[in-house]
Amino acid sequence: MLLIVVALLFPGIVNGFTLIGPGSPLVNPTSATFANVNMATDPMSSPRRIKEFYRWHFPVLTYAYDSTFVRFFGHNGMNAVSNSFRILNDYFEPEDKGYSGVSHLKLIEEYDGHFKTWFFNPSANVGNVTDMQSMTLGLLVNHLGLGNPHRACYMIEDIIGLNLAAGAVQGTFQIGMRNYDPYTYRPATSVNGVQYSYYITSNSPNNAAAITIFDAIEYAVSSDEEFTAIAAIRDVINFGGLAWPTVAPTVFRTPGVYFGPEDSKNLPVSNAMLSVNRTQPRHTLTFDDAGGLRYLYRTNNIIWESLDPAVTLVTPSNMNPPPITSSGLPPPVVPNQPFLTPQRRTIIGVVASGFVPTIPASSSTIRPANTTIIRDGLRGGIDKIRFTYTPFDSLLGRDYRQQSYAWTDTFITNALPTDPVPATPPYFTQVVQRTVTRPDIIFIGQDLGVVGNVLPVITVPNNASWSAPNALNTQQGNAALLRGPGSILLPAGASIQYIFTTRAPFYQVIWAGEPGIEGNSIVQFQWGWITGTGPGDYITFPEVDITQPEAITGPSGETITIEAIAVL
């Protein structure tokens, strides 16, 4: 009966998320069978198969604002960015205590039917305003390990027998899928309730000899749920992709669009199957965004992982066998064997662990105290991540106060053959810590200039610091060809940087050789913070009140007095 109820309650649920990681040597923009297949020039996003993901194993990440950002964007700009972190914090550890950790997230209850979280402000659209909060949120979701599911639903794996010579143009495209259902983890062709198909195109459709890029372009019947994923927002940035009329696969390509939870005042009844309003910050994420992050960071998603070298040991693990019960019998054994669990507690071949347990000469099976951190091991997801604002010193803004964060690290290994009572399941813990000497993530304001014929509006980090796939994920395969899984790590000796252009807003005049040409006052692009759909529900940058930073410290010399008041 239970199966029937489930089938009736959730009919036809098919959605999808995409995982990303460093590029594969077999699908590469310069050295693959055919260069530039799939526009593989995004500095972070190369779609991965299920179980080839990359994720963080830090429970706390810090962020801060560079002085250049504060001077241009002011406190409102800082609040806009901080709101994006609040959304993610509320997802991992809800403010309303709805659950604790993504392993306890009830996806249907929280996100059923939650396919569209974008809204449109017509006034902001007229002013060509791009919402900073939404942009930042999308980029952060990408750096948590999710890619654009609308772009990676179909992808070209290779082109066989390609010939671009005139009169003999031909080729066979191998198409793969990199979109996965949040429940079954099987390949899916739908994202947030919308079914997608695709067509093959190039950057020179009328001249085969000039083709340098092919791509499988996804499309769907137009609807409000089309291209709605938060993880898709980054594709408003064109990383060497196909030019117009191929459009960016994200609804965020339209100025004036912003993302947010449902407004409880305007939407008393949700469209969700369970009729529950989605009004918390975490409900800015769509169904597939939430499902993808849940897949990555749930504690049962177990892979070989190596702790970052910056992680140090606080309390070593106690790896003694469980005690025998008072009856003299071992406790009941649960017959489970996690996939790829090592056969003994020596963690064979893992030199980095530095831990090889031995049995004392006596009949006791108690091992000597282990004083070495276990770096390599089978681990599940971290379950919770908290983003914490840690500013530079408030007066001079030069020093960053280092902080340490400790947590309990859980790893898996089997018992020794001599253990009278094997661990069931074989989970062990150690307390570790990380000392933060610089912000993990920093936001900067800077004039990015012009690159070729393009005016960049933001620069984003790459994945150069992400770990290579752990060779222990294969027994006899070619480790050099592994695409994952792996870990997302910080750049060595540096912060993750997001640099927003300070050239905006600006006007644009196109000249065609005329001796003189009339100017205009049409803003081409400007950063803003959109909080509603009304004409007064957004602000633009630079910050209007440029005296805010100056007011933080008291005036030197004489006290300022009001000399005149004018009514405007």
Q: What is the pLDDT of residues 393-427, one digit of tens each?
A: 655 557 788 899 999 999 987 656 556 655 555 78
Give the three-state DSSP class for 78: helix
Nearest Cα to Cα of residue 208 among 156, 159, 157, 151: 159
3-state SS string over 226-290? CCCCHHHHHHHCCCCCCCCCCCCCCHHHCCCEEECCCCCCCCCCCCCCCCCCCCCHHHHCCHHHH
d(CA 417, CA 43): 47
Confidence of residue 552 (pLDDT cuts 50, 70, 90): low
533: left (phi over 0), alpha (psi -120 to 50) or beta: alpha
What local confidence, expressed as pLDDT, does residue 104 receive? 96
460 within 8 A of 498, measured Cβ to Cβ: yes
d(CA 313, CA 342): 22
d(CA 98, CA 105): 8
63-72 pLDDT, tens per residue? 999 999 999 9
Question: Which alpha helices (H) appear in 93-184, and where do they start and end?
Answer: 107-111, 122-126, 132-143
Which residue do the tokens 């910080």 mark? Answer: 490
Q: What DSSP state is assigned to residue 81?
A: H
What local confidence, expressed as pLDDT, does residue 341 receive? 45
**β-sheet bridge partners, residue 180:** 17, 187
544 within 8 A of 527, measured Cβ to Cβ: no
What local confidence, expressed as pLDDT, does residue 338 receive? 45
Least confident of 155-169, 282-296, 426-440: 155-169
490 within 8 A of 470, measured Cβ to Cβ: no
Question: Which alpha helices (H) appear in 93-231, and where do they start and end?
Answer: 107-111, 122-126, 132-143
Give the three-state DSSP class for 533: coil
- Which helix (DSSP H) or strand (DSSP E) does residue 409 occupy? strand 403-412
What pTM did the predictor assign?
0.85
Angle, nearest 10°, between helix axes 287-297 and 67-92? 80
Phi, psi of 99 (to 5 degrees): -165, 175
Task: Give the percent of the chain with pLDDT over 70.
Answer: 75
d(CA 253, CA 130): 9
Give the C-alpha distances (Å, rounded to integers) separating 83 from 78, 102, 130, 344, 507. 9, 20, 16, 47, 29
Q: What DSSP state is assigned to residue 181?
A: -
What local confidence, expressed as pLDDT, does residue 425 receive? 58
Confidence of residue 62 (pLDDT cuts 50, 70, 90): very high
Q: Is the pLDDT of residue 9 over 60?
A: no
